[in-house]
Amino acid sequence: MNRVKFLDCTLRDGGYVNHWQFGADTMKDMLARLTAAGLDIIECGFLTDLPSTKDQSLFHSPKDLDPLLPDGDHTLYVAMIAIGEKEMNPTALPDKKDTKLGGIRLTFHPEEVEKAFCYGEMIQQKGYRLFMQPVGTAGYSDEDLIHLIKRINRLQPYAFYLVDTLGTMYGKSFLRQVSLADHNLAPSIRLGYHSHNNLQMSFANAQQLLGYKTGRGLILDCSASGMGRGAGNLCTELILQYFNTEYESRYNVLPVLEVVDRTITPISLSAQWGYACPYFLSAARDCHPNYASYLMGKQTVSVTDVSELLDQIPPEKRERFDKTLIEHLYQTYQSHAIEDQAVIDGLRRQMEGRKVLVLAPGHSIVTHEEMVQAFIEKEQPLIISVNFVPHQYSYDLLFLTNDRRLEAIRDDIQWDKTVLTSNVRTLPDGAEGARMVNYSSLLNTSFYASDSAGMMLLKLLVKCSVRDVTLAGMDGFSDDALQNYYTPDYAVSRYGIPLHQKNREVNIQLNKRARDMKLHFLTPTLYKIENREGED
C-alpha cells in the first residue's frame, strides 16, 4: 500500500475554527508530533496576503514557515494558495531550493480555472510540487470533470483532487467520480480526496477509496479530531488506525492523539465543529453549510423553516455563502405585513405614564431574583417578558417573536397578555385574544441582531411612546451556552455564529434606542449604554 499517502490539514482547514490562532510554539509542536506520527504530507496553513501575526497559520512567504518545520526528509510539507481569498501571487514565491516547503496546494472555483492554470505553471517553475484542488468537484458533471482532467494532464501536477466541498457524496456517487478520474487522469498524477463530513460519510468514503483497485498513487486528506469548518473533516487518528489495522502498520497514532489532547480538545471547548443538524440540511440541499448554520444560529426558525429557506436559494448561489442573500430570504420569509396601528395605540394607552421593566431570559434573572423582586415592589412597573413565561415573576405582557419559542411555552401562555409579531404562524386554539404587531417594522439594521427579540421590543416601546425602561436578564452572550439563559432548556448551539459580533451588534442597537428613551440595566450585563437620551 505504498501508493497511499495521508495528508493532515489541521493547521489549514482546522484554522477556520479558531481563525488560525494556534500560536507559534503550538504550531511548531504540532508539526513535530504529526511528523513523528509518520504522516506523509502535512499542510501547514495558507500562503496569503491577509494581515496575520506569527501566531497564526497564515503566512506571507514559505520562508516564514522554515523556523517551524522539523528536520528530516520523510514528510512533505505543503501550504495552500486559495484563489479569490486574498491569495499570495506565485510570483512572490521564493525558489523551492531556498525553503523547506516542498509543495503548494492550489484551490480554485470553476470561474477561476484560467487563473489557476496560470498560477499552477508559475508554481511548478519555482520548483514546488503542485496539487490542483478544484472546489466542489462533487457538483461537476461527467463532461465538465473530464474536460478539466484533460487540461490537468497537460499541466502534469503532482496531484489532482476530488473535493466534496458541501459534504454531499454517498458511496456510489463518490466511487463513480473516483473511477471517472482514475480512467482519464494521466498515470503519473496522484488522485487526492478532500471530504467534508456533513453526512458523516468522510470515514466511509475513505475506506471505499482505500479498497479501490488501482495502481495510481492516492492521497487522503484528514485533520486531527476532524477539526474543520462546520461538520469538519476525516479524523486523522481514525483513518491512520484503520490503515494500520486493515493494511499495514505504518503510522504511530499516539503523537496525533497527543495533538488532540494538548491542542485540539482545549479549542473544542470554546469552538464547535462536527456533525450537526444544519450541516446535514446543507448537504441535503447542496448548499454551503454556512447558510443553514446562519439560520439556525438566529434561534427563531424551526428545522422545517430552514429547509424551506434553503430551497429558495438559487442554484448558482448555493456553493458560496452569501450572507446578504440569506438575510434577505429570511426576512422576506418571516415578514407578514399587517395593519397594527390600533394595537400600538392600545399598547400606548396601557403603558402611558408607566415605567417599564423588560424581563429578558438571561441567567441573571435567577441569580439576582431578590434584586429584581425588590425593584418590582418599589417601582410597580409594567412588566414585559420576552419570549418566555417567568414563573417566579408576575407580568403584564408577554412579547413573543417566533414559532420556536411559542412551541416551548404554549401550554403556559395567557393569550390575553400576549403580543405576537406577525411572522408567528402556528397559533393554537384559544390564541384569539392575543394582539399582533408588524414583524418587518421592528427589524434592526444588522445581520446577527436583525430580529433579536429584545431589540425588537425596544423598537415597539418607542412606537408606544415609552420613556423609561429598565432591563433585567439582558446579559449578553458568553461562550458557555448553559449560562446564557435562565434555564438550560433554552440553551442552543451557536452554530458558528460569532457571539462577540452578535454582542457588539446588540450593543449598537441598545445605544440607538437610548436616544429615544431612558434605558437602565438592573442585572449584570455585557452591554454598555454609551449614548443617553438626547445625546448624539
The full set of domains in the chain, from first to last, is 4-268 (3.20.20.70), 277-334 (no CATH), 341-521 (no CATH)
Q: Confidence band (pLDDT; 50, 70, 90) for 495?
A: low
Please list the helix, strand and coil fractions of the chain in percent, rounded to the nearest 5, in that order.
45, 15, 40
The pLDDT, as a whole number, for residue 485 is 79
The lowest-confidence range among 85-94, 108-117, 450-459, 490-499 is 490-499
The pLDDT, as a whole number, for residue 492 is 67
Given a cut of 80, whether residue 531 has pLDDT beyond it is no
Q: Which residue has the cell 482519464?
A: 184
Task: Summarize the confidence of residues 7-20 as an average pLDDT.
Answer: 96
The pLDDT, as a whole number, for residue 496 is 65
Cα gap 333→308, rounded to integer Å: 9
First to last CA, the chain: 70
Given a cut of 80, whether residue 482 has pLDDT beyond it is no
Q: Confidence band (pLDDT; 50, 70, 90) for 536?
A: very low
The lowest-confidence range among 176-190, 348-362, 519-533 is 519-533
The pLDDT, as a whole number, for residue 383 is 97
Candidates 238, 229, 336, 244; CA nearest to 282 is 229
> What percentage of residues in the chain have a pLDDT greater than 90?
77
Given a cut of 80, whether residue 486 has pLDDT beyond it is no
Cα gap 337→471, rounded to integer Å: 28
Q: What 3-state class would DSSP assign to 307?
A: helix
The pLDDT, as a whole number, for residue 497 is 72
Given a cut of 80, whether residue 380 has pLDDT beyond it is yes
Given a cut of 50, whether residue 534 has pLDDT beyond it is no
pTM: 0.75
Q: Confidence band (pLDDT; 50, 70, 90) for 491?
A: low
Alpha-carbon 498 to chain mean position: 8
Given a cut of 60, whether residue 213 has pLDDT beyond it is yes
- Which amino acid does the sequence have at 46? F
The pLDDT, as a whole number, for residue 430 is 84
Candidates 462, 461, 458; CA nearest to 449 is 458
The pLDDT, as a whole number, for residue 533 is 45
